[in-house]
């Protein structure tokens, strides 16, 4: 599952502010490490800000990133509280008054929102409140997305661990079977078991996919049902259930019903 682009959420907030906040110039972007990349714009007249990289502690946005709170200047050209590394693109837009709002997630700046006027009047009141609220909404959205990503990674790790455990059990059962057999163990058999432990499982059986009925039977076996119980639940004859199990085992390259269930799980065919 692909994470939705954070830039899309940022763009949506900027458009909302343009309509309801009455701020004529809006722009922003995502923070990567110690640098902000401006990528989203509403109401700009030139392309000089597009793709601009704002470093931490540089300009109004860089200072806001480091401070972790909104900062503003009423007259950008004469502001003495900021560096003027980006005067050319900013002043070329005719921007005078600017408010920078950081999007902070768990103490780390993840994006920046800018609102600007082409007149030297401070951005305050309702417009400023709406920008700060937009920054908070974005921060919460990103925090939720981060948590979803964390849980997906955790789930994938658990699935991988479960699959590895199933493989170890399968190989252990096969080794016990070989040890109890009368015939000597071949080098090829041991090599196949070693490959399964290392994750290099032969998936050639995937060329013969399991049918819906074979999966139904394996799913019930996975629940602990006997052949007779599977037959009753699926309205089949016990001999038919055995036939489906033999067919599924053949396609999966297994010898027992439990090995078939384990192999089907490791391939994502069963939960």
Residues 20 and 130 occupy one common structural domain: yes
Number of structural domains in the chain: 2
> Which value, in Å, is the radius of gyration of the alpha carbons in the chain?
31
For residue 258, the model assigns a pLDDT of: 84
17 plus 136 within the same structural domain: yes
Nearest to 59 by CA among 39, 30, 88, 33: 88
Residues in the chain, overall count: 271
| Predicted TM-score (pTM) of this structure | 0.63
Contact yes or no for 98/116 (Cβ under 8 A):
yes
Q: What is the mean pLDDT of each run of 10 residues along the chain (271 residues)?
A: 82 92 94 94 95 94 95 94 94 95 96 94 89 96 92 78 73 79 78 71 58 91 90 91 92 86 82 72
Half-sphere exposure of 124 (CA within 13 A, CB side): 5
- Are 138 and 255 in the same domain? no
| Residue pair 100/132 in contact by the 8 Å Cβ criterion | no
- Going from the C-alpha of 156 to that of each of 22, 152, 257, the distances in angstroms are 45, 6, 26
Question: 246 and 146, same structural domain?
Answer: no
Host domain of residue 97: 6-150
Contacts of 96 (CB under 8 A, 6+ apart): 74, 75, 76, 77, 116, 117, 118, 119, 120, 121
For residue 189, which of 181, 72, 147 has the smallest C-alpha distance? Answer: 181
Within this chain, do residues 125 and 219 fall inside the same structural domain, yes or no?
A: no
* pLDDT value at residue 35: 94
Residue 27's H or E segment, with its range, is strand 25-32
> For position 102, which CATH number holds?
3.30.450.40
């Amino acid at each position: 599952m692909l994470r939705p682009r954070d830039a899309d959420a940022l763009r949506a907030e900027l458009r909302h502010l343009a309509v309801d906040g009455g701020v004529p110039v809006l722009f922003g972007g995502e923070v990567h490490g110690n640098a902000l990349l401006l990528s989203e714009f509403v109401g700009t007249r030139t392309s000089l800000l597009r793709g601009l990289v704002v470093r931490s502690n540089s300009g109004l946005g860089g200072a806001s990133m480091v401070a972790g709170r909104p900062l503003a200047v009423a007259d950008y050209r004469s502001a003495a509280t900021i560096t003027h590394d980006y005067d050319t693109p900013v002043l070329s837009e005719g921007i005078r008054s600017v408010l920078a709002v950081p999007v902070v997630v768990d103490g780390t700046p993840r994006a920046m929102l800018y609102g600007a006027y082409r007149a030297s009047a401070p951005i305050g009141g309702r417009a400023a409140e709406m920008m700060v609220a937009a920054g908070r909404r974005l921060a919460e959205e990103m925090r939720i997305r981060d948590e979803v990503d964390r849980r997906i990674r955790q789930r994938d790790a658990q699935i991988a661990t479960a699959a590895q455990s199933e493989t170890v059990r399968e190989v252990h059962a096969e080794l016990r079977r070989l040890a109890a057999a009368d015939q000597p163990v071949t080098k090829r058999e041991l090599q196949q078991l070693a490959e399964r432990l290392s994750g290099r499982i032969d998936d050639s059986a995937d060329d013969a996919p399991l049918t819906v009925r074979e999966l139904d039977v394996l799913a019930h076996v996975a629940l602990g049902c006997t052949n007779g119980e599977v037959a009753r639940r699926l309205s089949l004859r016990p001999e038919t259930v055995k036939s489906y199990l033999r067919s599924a085992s053949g396609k999966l390259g297994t010898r027992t019903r439990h090995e078939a269930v384990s192999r089907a799980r490791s391939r994502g065919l069963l939960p």
